[in-house]
Amino acid sequence: MQRRRFLTGAATASALLAGCTSSDGDGDGNNSSAGGNESTTAANGTSTAAATTTAGSTATASGNGTDAGAQTGTENGTETDGQSGTETGSSYSVSIAPMGEVTFDGVPETWVANNGSWADMGAALGVAPPKAVWLPERYHTQYYDEVPGVSVDKSGMQALSSDGVSKELFYELDGDVHVIDPNFLLNRFKGWKQSDIEELRTNVGPFFGNSSFSRGYSWHEDYQYYTLYEAFGKLAEMFQREDRYEQFVELHDEMQSNLSEVVPSNESERPSVAILWASGNEPEEFSPYLIGEGTSFKQWRDLGVRDALAETDVGNFHASRSAVDFETLLQIDPEVLLFRGHESQTAEEFQNTVVQFMKNNSTASALTAVENDDVYRGGPLYQGPITNFVTTQRAAEQVYPDRVSGPLYDPERIAPIVDGNGES
């Protein structure tokens, strides 16, 4: 298939240049940072083992589906509402900010993704995993253990980020499409220029992505963010699997309805929580995260928790690179502490290391959350539709243990959707 047809307008080209270059380390894309790494090993090196998605039977790379609302294209060469583009014969186009309209001569067979959010969306659509993501260890495939019939082998998945991001690696990967916001490359990593983006787009494959896991970046202010399901809908259009997307929307709507019975209507009855990045098993300094509109906070927004940090002058790590210690936390004293950076640990491992360390610390042990055993893993930076079901169930049981009496979604329905056998 030909992969080099990429259309963009002047407004899009301007958006691609938004912001100034920064090489700060963080907990959202780089290896070296205050955000830190999780205690797992990245799958670097050559991609010798093909990564596969299995949901019962092996998912195929074909299959067009029904329209996904106003965001999807139409079949048989007719034009959609202008938000989605057109399809003519085997060629079709999909519109996504900041690139604008991207034209494909055929459905992409191989791809490279920004992060685990997109990778999980691909798993939900039943396509093979991306050949690479920034940090494979932050694509938490262990969540699929909670979903019967769904698994992802990421053993051959490469890391794009390793002491920087190599342009040459994109050539080696030779993906049909790069599901990456080019502004993330231009503004988060040293040495990347607009000419590099244009070169890869011309010689390898188009860019098709939007950074929406966080909304704390100044360089993203001039173009649209997407919700998790808006981004998912765009990827479904690109892979021409809108039928699966629609079925996930239905399942998600059902979970939201169940959540409405769990979340107390009186806000004062909802717990105050603090989400922080905690590096290592004996952390004494933490990177604070305010609960924002980014996709990484979706379960906490849906659960209506009160953000204890938002009521203070503690800055958001995404914007300020700030840090807090136990003394600061004691002044804030949230009812629940949620630590990111430990998703690769089981709940028991987390309790036996991080929580036990805090109980043994003279200052940390005075925190209300520590005294009441309300210190938990805080969820991933990157989540897609499948992982969000799992993390929402877990989060609800953490903050509303007396109000959750059973599953908030039916995990048995997910594998058939991934396989293309779900009920429409």
Pairwise CA distance, residues 104 & 152, whole Å: 26
Instruction: Give the span between the Cα atoms of 400 and 138, in whole angstroms.
Output: 27
Q: For the whole prediction, is pTM greater than 0.85?
A: no
Give the integer Cα–Cα distance in Å for 152 and 47: 15
In what side-by-side order are the strands of the sheet with 52-55? 57-58, 52-55, 150-153
**Residue 315 has what pLDDT?**
57
Whole-number Cα distances in Å, 258 to 68, 72, 138, 403, 405: 23, 27, 29, 11, 11
Q: CA–CA separation, 329 vs 308, rounded Å?
A: 10
Distance CA 218, CA 200 (A): 25
The reported pLDDT for the residue numbered 105 is: 95
Structure tokens given for 37 = 């790494």
267-279 per-position pLDDT tens digit: 999 999 999 999 9
- Per-residue confidence at 215, pLDDT binned at 50, 70, 90? confident
Q: Which two tokens stand for residue 205?
A: 């494959």
Domains and CATH numbers, the chain: 10-253 (3.40.50.1980), 263-419 (3.40.50.1980)
Mind listing the pLDDT tens digit for each residue in 365-398? 999 999 999 999 999 999 999 999 999 999 999 9
Instruction: Pick 4 or 334 by higher pLDDT.
Output: 334
Element (H, E) at 178: strand 177-179
Which residues is 112 bridged to in the sheet?
178
**344 pLDDT more than 80:** yes
How do residues 216-252 score in pLDDT, each as one tens digit?
778 888 899 999 999 999 999 999 999 999 999 999 9
Q: For a pLDDT cut of 90, what percent of the chain falls above it?
A: 70
Does residue 380 contact residue 340 with C-beta atoms inside 8 Å?
yes
pLDDT at 289 over 70: yes
- Nearest residue to 185 via CA among 128, 112, 244, 253: 112
What confidence tens digit (pLDDT) does each residue in 325-340 have?
999 999 999 999 999 9
Higher per-residue pLDDT: 55 or 278: 278
C-alpha angle with apex 228: 81 to 10, nearest 5 degrees?
A: 50
**Distances, alpha carbon 412 to alpha carbons 65, 124, 136, 397, 417, in Å:** 21, 14, 26, 19, 10
Beta-bridge partner residues of 276: 288, 339
Question: If 0-12 CB within 10 Å is exposed, 13-18 middle and 19+ buried, where does residue 300 land?
Answer: buried
